[in-house]
Structure 1
Amino acid sequence: MNLSVLVVSSIIILAFSIWAILNPDHARITMKGAVHWIALNLGWYYVLTMTLVIGFVLWVAFSKEGDVRLGPDHSRPQYKLVTWVAMLFAAGVGIDMLFYSVTGPVVQYLHPPAGVGGTPEALQDAVVWTMFHYGIAGWSMYALLGMAMGYFAYRWNMPLSIRAALYPLLGKRVRGKLGDGISIIALVGTVFGVATSMGIGVVLLNVGFSLIFGLEQGLALQIALVIGAVVLTIAATTSGVDRGIRWIAELNLWSAIAMMVYILVTGQTAFLLNALVENIGQFIVTFPARTLQTFAYETGGADWMGGWTLFFWAFWLAWGPFVGVFLARISRGRTLREFVIAAITAPVVCDFIIVSLFGNSALYEVLQGNMAFAEIAIRSPEQGWYALLEMFPGAMFLIGLATLSGLLFYLTSANSGAMVMSNFSASIPDPAQDGPKWLRIFWAVLTALLAVAMLIAGGVTTMEYATLIFALPVTIISYLVMASFYKVLRMERAAREGQVLRKPSMAPIGGHMPERSWKQRLEQMRTFPSQRQATQFLDRTVRPALDDVAAEFGKQGYEVERSEISNAKGIVEPLLRVSMSSYRAFHYHVAVVEAPVPMFSGRMTREIDVYYRLEVFTQTGSGGYDLMGLTKQQVIDDVLERYEAHLAFLTFSSETNTASVLTPPTLPTEPSPEVPPTGADDTTTKA
């Protein structure tokens, strides 16, 4: 537990909640004034920030460094593609999208930000504005924070946190009060973002439960729903990502698909499909202009921006640390390119379909002259959403399905949020682990209290105000993360170019085996060592070779260490480390890796299922080759090849003024120099 982060964040949230509950009118008026000032004076800043974030993540994805993995070079994804996309979608999309999918298009058609309402021009833009607000911008923010935190967590064995992603920029200061301040900003922004989604969710579900069960709508039912949701959140969150949250995420995706198919089949199918295609085309064509649109020349433009675009940008900023951590948590082994492209395409397409089907169904009713429905959708979005559902055949079935889908949206966000909040307020050196269960329960309860406070202080409007205000400090974090990650990618490029620019006399080793005789090569094709054989080879050949190299390094004045590491199976593995003053140290770690026996091998039979390889790991992962069967001299030669490659990397780093040392393996405590980047569960002992 990080006591200072936990206490300060809790005090801020509790103080705001008590203020909103005891003096709701004053809280609402004060926040309204603050939001008006921000919209009038800082609207351009929010717009510019999101534009730069979009550009940065696209640059990362399509650069040469897009092939870098969120983890060691040999790591591969933990989840299947469909499961991963479902979790991406469900974690980053809240029930608020259903809330705004009807009211947004109707408002933009009848009261557009520019021009006259009710015109063909306003109609063409009505749904596109909502698609824009739920499109690439928000997911780019998620991708930025997710890939930065995931990179440091899985490639450098640092905690899965914002402060770790800023270490290259801020250095050791992230361990102290500055780092705590960054964590507090991220945590408070996350709590307000999730609380806003919860508040909007219960306002919407309040109507659904009233229609289904005949309950009286109002604040009492909304608070009861919050309490009930907290109980379910605690039950699901304590089961962890691999069970409760994953199950809810997949069920969420399938229920949303079922709801969309029902609306498409029973509604105005041809109109909805035509409109969907046109909406996507209009979005693509106008996206650059909308991204930088501030309505500086429109009367009342600042008010519209504050109520719509700036609110959504603030919403994504507030949710950014939360969703970023969750996306990183489920994306180990993905490349940066794969991560970014998936994040800004798959969930965005799902968002577009939901917004377009609901929005165009609502607009169709308005175009038929149903102005009573339009007024409900504008005045009371939650009533308007259910009023639209009541117009479809089998209305009660659709209402029940939509309420279930909304409830799953809500639970997914609440579950993921509680888990991430506990991670932010705890010191967890292993990125594969989550915060303690009691801490997740604490944050689930505190977030629910904040949601209730904002409901009392004015409902959805007050939530919008609070989100816009508390997201402002998060913009600073986004700039710091971009600067820090840019520095990281320069280092990755230097490492790659250093390998390419090595002297021709040096044999390439990256991903290639050391030179073997033809007899050794033939023997390797037909042998699949057991764990016992692999450990015996370590003892008889590899350790003596590393001991000799270490001794010679020491004689020549190098600062060298020979250590032993216990892996997860209890196998003791050798590590050679040569310190390089202020530069990145040279690591040569020989790990015992289990691998499946190929179906067709040199022995032409398959008597066993797995065998064991002796792979060489550096700070960036496995070299991809096996030392089994080499002589002691060949192992020594490979160590020297690796060392020469490391020197080439350092030389290129110096020539291009690129940092070669980014961060120690662990935060917030000083790292042990023997800890390798290959597994957070390893323990190290002196040889």
Structure 2
Amino acid sequence: MPIEPSDNKNTTAAPDGQQTVKIPAPLERSRFGGTQRRHERPDEDDAPVSRSDLSKGPEEVLEDREAHINWSVLLISSLVILAFSIWAIVMPDEARTTMKTAVDWIAINLGWYYVVTITLVIGFVLWVAFSKEGDVRIGPDHSRPQYKLVTWVAMLFAAGVGIDMLFYSVTGPVVQYLYPPSGEGSTSAARQDAVVWTMFHYGIAGWAMYALLGMAMGYFAYRWDMPLSIRAALYPLLGKRVRGPLGDGISIIALVGTVFGVATSMGIGVVLLSVGFSLIFGFEQGLTLQIALVIGAVILTIAATTSGVDRGIRWIAELNLWSAVAMMLYILFTGQTAFLLNALVENIGQFIVTFPARTLQTFAYEPEGAEWMGGWTLFFWAFWLAWGPFVGVFLARISRGRTLREFVIAAITAPVLCDFIIVSLFGNSALFEVLQGNTAFAELAVQSPEQGWYALLGMFPGSTFLIWLATLSGLLFYLTSANSGAMVMSNFSASIPDPSHDGPSWLRIFWAILTAVLTIAMLFAGGVTTMEYATLIFALPVTIVAYLVMASFYKVLRMERAEREGRVLRRPSIAPIGGHVPERSWKQRLEQLRAYPSLRQVTQFLDRTVRPALDEVAAEFRNQGYNIEQDTTTNVNGIEEPLLRVSMDAFRDFYYHVAVVEAPVPMFSGRMSRETDVYYRLEVYTQTGSGGYDLMGLTKQQIIDDVLERYEAHLAFLTFSSQTDTASVLTPPKGAGEQAGS
């Protein structure tokens, strides 16, 4: 087939002296190592063993591309929660006693398991952040973050902080000072550790769990076009089984755990807020007021769902952040400022020094160690496990375009530091009163944490204002969790292909009501203590989900590494100068430095040069027996962008898409004047995103060469991935054992 004359390595001379396209051989007869063994998947339910299998995920995870309710998950989860709620309301004493027995057994026999699980989660997310795969983006390679860093960090903080932190910020330090897990109480050692224990419980462990589930769900949703769900994150491990009974079972575990976590946070919230409403409005404290607050949250959630005021809920979340900041500044500057700042610095230093030892601390040698662990560390670990899927969905949504490294590092540093400030300011303010001999306050903080919190606020100047501000802040935390929780639960009980969409309104209303029923049931059965018991019990199965997600994500990161290594292992004789960037003459390079073409110029070049080049190379692919498809996609400007796809059968298809991309004109450029702020580029996209270079100004022959360079790089990747054991030891390719033993 005649093309423009060239000395390029991807052409060869025809008998008549003209140049012809030289297509690399397909993988079965590849020059990169002879005939290659394909990963055979005789069973269509087998888990994927390469990225070529992984690319089939969107079709295999979903039965169809239409959103629909997953009735088995919805009904079974609802029945479990409803049955528990009825039991707790009808037989509250029996429910409380039974759960106490179960919690005691877990604390004695499985406390180590919770500790090891959280430790492994922390280690895993740190490994992801500092590994080579930390550069992988939550989305295509060309994607960039939607939010500025400061805005994003603020949203991270708002996502993972609930009203429960306010509840425990006073009672936690006071209890650890008077009744420490080891040693004598009311001593210097107990005083140094009191606030640090609460910081530890609200520190890196919880955010590591959020980061694990957030980055896993976001990666598969935005990089592989799968649903934003737990089952999609397990596709590399379980394959097509994720949409069957096994996947439903995992979704049920995650959903039930999430409901109990949200209900516990709401229950703690209403217990705390009921005191504030009583002080401000004169309402009588008790179960009636608490139930009224739960019903109020449900009504506001329904209003937000049915009237389309989700923007208002987002505004509430932002107001929540600023009210919390105002409250902390007020406490800092009207309280013991110097003492609070000194204590904050010392607390953070003590946390850093003792963190490894605390992480693996089980108090095996303490007589009451299991009881303390069950009431504090194990409860908080269970709480973070239960909240993990809930917060993970939100973190994934706001983090598209971030690398795994910046996602993890930001999640376990910036919000954690904000948590430390809140806990330290409240906790040290409470300790200051106790150290001054205020024993009545100390007893109140231990026996009735909600009363102790408001009693502390009443000791500051302008206490009426502070109580109003603190109640407003707590109410905003409470409403945000209630509404967001209903949204996430609706997503988990439905199959939604588009990660940007949510479950139907009626489903959000259903979950808001059912969560409220569960919250009221636990209030009947004993209040906060019963909620702690339930969380610890129902979070136990969620630990299995955490292990499965780590195994699945580890497997897919090995696939990412295989693709990167495949790019590196391309033969030097066929590698273009500058890696994937097409080789240009020095005049073309100089011209490109000052060229900022308009949309019209780019469209003309696309029609006159790019399309003919792709037509010719596609024709030669067909002539040599390749299964190649030519297609177009229409962009936002109405321009049809060309697309080539070479079918590789069981392997991942070759994909070459030329897209029109708008870009800002550099502030300092080779051009003497700027007539516009934007220009347009013709970028090449593969299945993992943009190659990052521009085709504008190339000749037709250079574009053909670029297609072949890309195709040869794709063959190199497939060869490397077929030679590398990208399969997890949990899901080896069928027949691997027989081949190994032959």
Q: Give the TM-score normalised by the residue count of structure 2.
A: 0.86
Give the Å deviation of 1:533. Answer: 4.0
Q: Which moved more, 1:600-609 or 1:123-132?
A: 600-609
Q: Could you tell me whether the CA contact under 8 Å between 2:576 and 2:583 is conserved in 1?
A: no
Matched, 1:208 2:276: yes
Structure 1 counterpart of 2:547, from 470, 479, 486: 479
CA distance in 1, matches of 2:382, 2:118: 10
Structure 2 counterpart of 1:639, from 707, 713, 719: 707
CA distance in 1, matches of 2:127, 2:627: 39
Structure 2 counterpart of 1:370, from 418, 428, 438: 438
Structure 2 unaligned spans of 5+: 1-68, 732-742
Structure 1 counterpart of 2:564, from 464, 485, 496: 496
Give the Å deviation of 1:385. Answer: 0.4
Q: Please tell me the residue identity of whatever aligns with 1:352.
A: F
Give the Å deviation of 1:242. Answer: 8.0
Q: Which moved more, 1:355-364 or 1:621-630?
A: 621-630
Structure 1 counterpart of 2:573, from 505, 522, 535: 505
CA distance in 1, matches of 2:727, 2:597: 41
Match of 1:146 in 2: 214
CA distance in 1, matches of 2:171, 2:578: 56
Structure 2 counterpart of 1:434, from 486, 491, 502: 502
CA distance in 2, matches of 1:240, 1:521: 52
Larger Rg: 2
CA distance in 2, matches of 1:195, 1:499: 49
Q: Which moved more, 1:82-91 or 1:164-173?
A: 82-91
Structure 2 counterpart of 1:447, from 515, 520, 528: 515
Match of 1:553 in 2: 621
Give the Å deviation of 1:235. Answer: 4.0
CA distance in 1, matches of 2:312, 2:297: 14
CA distance in 1, matches of 2:381, 2:596: 55
Q: Please tell me the residue identity of whatever aligns with 1:23.
A: M
Q: Please tell me the residue identity of whatever aligns with 2:437.
A: G
Q: Could you tell me whether the CA contact under 8 Å between 1:237 and 1:418 is conserved in 2?
A: no
Give the Å deviation of 1:599. Answer: 4.2
Give the Å deviation of 1:622. Answer: 0.5
What per-residue deviation string (whole Å, max 9, x for no partner) do you get for residues 174-223 of structure 1?
12121122111111111111111011001000000100111111111111
The 1:568–1:454 alpha-carbon spacing in structure 2 relative to 1, beyond 3 Å, is: farther
CA distance in 2, matches of 1:441, 1:27: 27
Structure 1 counterpart of 2:386, from 318, 324, 338: 318
Give the Å deviation of 1:600. Answer: 5.0
Give the Å deviation of 1:605. Answer: 3.1
Give the Å deviation of 1:409. Answer: 1.3
Q: Please tell me the residue identity of whatever aligns with 2:165.
A: M
Q: How does 1:614-653 map to 2 (within 5 A)?
A: 614-653=682-721
Q: How does 1:57-68 map to 2 (within 5 A)?
A: 57-68=125-136
Give the Å deviation of 1:655. Answer: 3.3
Q: Could you tell me whether the CA contact under 8 Å between 1:227 and 1:448 is conserved in 2?
A: yes
Q: Which moved more, 1:381-390 or 1:446-455?
A: 446-455
The 1:317–1:241 alpha-carbon spacing in structure 2 relative to 1, beyond 3 Å, is: farther
CA distance in 1, matches of 2:97, 2:540: 19
What per-residue deviation string (whole Å, max 9, x for no partner) do you get for residues 556-582 of structure 1?
333332222334554332222223333
Match of 1:257 in 2: 325
Q: Which moved more, 1:1-10 or 1:529-538?
A: 529-538
Q: Could you tell me whether the CA contact under 8 Å between 1:163 and 1:182 is conserved in 2?
A: yes
SS in 1 for 2:657: strand
The 1:510–1:561 alpha-carbon spacing in structure 2 relative to 1, beyond 3 Å, is: farther
Q: How does 1:72-471 map to 2 (within 5 A)?
A: 72-236=140-304, 243-471=311-539
SS in 2 for 1:607: coil
Q: Could you tell me whether the CA contact under 8 Å between 2:609 and 2:700 is conserved in 1?
A: yes
Q: Please tell me the residue identity of whatever aligns with 1:159.
A: P
Q: Could you tell me whether the CA contact under 8 Å between 2:304 and 2:310 is conserved in 1?
A: no
The 1:179–1:240 alpha-carbon spacing in structure 2 relative to 1, beyond 3 Å, is: farther
Q: Could you tell me whether the CA contact under 8 Å between 2:577 and 2:583 is conserved in 1?
A: no
SS in 2 for 1:657: coil
Q: Which moved more, 1:454-463 or 1:8-17?
A: 8-17
Q: Please tell me the residue identity of whatever aligns with 1:642.
A: R
Structure 1 counterpart of 2:92, from 6, 24, 30: 24
Q: Could you tell me whether the CA contact under 8 Å between 2:631 and 2:642 is conserved in 1?
A: yes
Give the Å deviation of 1:508. Answer: 4.4
The 1:437–1:82 alpha-carbon spacing in structure 2 relative to 1, beyond 3 Å, is: farther
SS in 1 for 2:647: strand
Match of 2:650 in 1: 582
CA distance in 1, matches of 2:410, 2:309: 20
Q: Please tell me the residue identity of whatever aligns with 1:230.
A: V
CA distance in 2, matches of 1:659, 1:509: 33
CA distance in 1, matches of 2:307, 2:410: 27
What per-residue deviation string (whole Å, max 9, x for no partner) do you get for residues 573-596 of structure 1?
222222333332221111222223
CA distance in 2, matches of 1:574, 1:9: 47
Q: Which moved more, 1:561-570 or 1:77-86?
A: 561-570
CA distance in 2, matches of 1:495, 1:559: 23
CA distance in 2, matches of 1:340, 1:578: 36
Match of 1:675 in 2: none
Match of 1:684 in 2: none
Give the Å deviation of 1:659. Answer: 5.0
SS in 2 for 1:472: coil
Match of 2:38 in 1: none
CA distance in 1, matches of 2:150, 2:309: 16
SS in 2 for 1:565: strand
CA distance in 1, matches of 2:102, 2:507: 32
CA distance in 2, matches of 1:433, 1:456: 36
User: How many aligned positions are there?
Assistant: 661
The 1:509–1:88 alpha-carbon spacing in structure 2 relative to 1, beyond 3 Å, is: farther
Q: Could you tell me whether the CA contact under 8 Å between 1:91 and 1:416 is conserved in 2?
A: no
Q: Could you tell me whether the CA contact under 8 Å between 2:215 and 2:407 is conserved in 1?
A: yes
SS in 2 for 1:580: coil
CA distance in 1, matches of 2:508, 2:576: 49
CA distance in 2, matches of 1:63, 1:113: 37
The 1:174–1:159 alpha-carbon spacing in structure 2 relative to 1, beyond 3 Å, is: same
Q: Could you tell me whether the CA contact under 8 Å between 1:127 and 1:360 is conserved in 2?
A: yes
Structure 1 unaligned spans of 5+: 664-687
CA distance in 2, matches of 1:310, 1:238: 38
Give the Å deviation of 1:454. Answer: 1.1
SS in 2 for 1:157: coil
Q: Could you tell me whether the CA contact under 8 Å between 1:564 and 1:572 is conserved in 2?
A: yes
What per-residue deviation string (whole Å, max 9, x for no partner) do you get for residues 525-568 of structure 1?
44444444434433333333333333333333333322223345
Q: Give the TM-score normalised by the residue count of structure 1.
A: 0.92
The 1:509–1:564 alpha-carbon spacing in structure 2 relative to 1, beyond 3 Å, is: farther
SS in 2 for 1:495: helix
CA distance in 2, matches of 1:286, 1:569: 57
CA distance in 2, matches of 1:238, 1:299: 54
What per-residue deviation string (whole Å, max 9, x for no partner) do you get for residues 1-58 of structure 1?
2222222222222222222222222221221111111111111110000000000111
The 1:531–1:403 alpha-carbon spacing in structure 2 relative to 1, beyond 3 Å, is: same
Give the Å deviation of 1:243. Answer: 2.8
The 1:367–1:31 alpha-carbon spacing in structure 2 relative to 1, beyond 3 Å, is: same
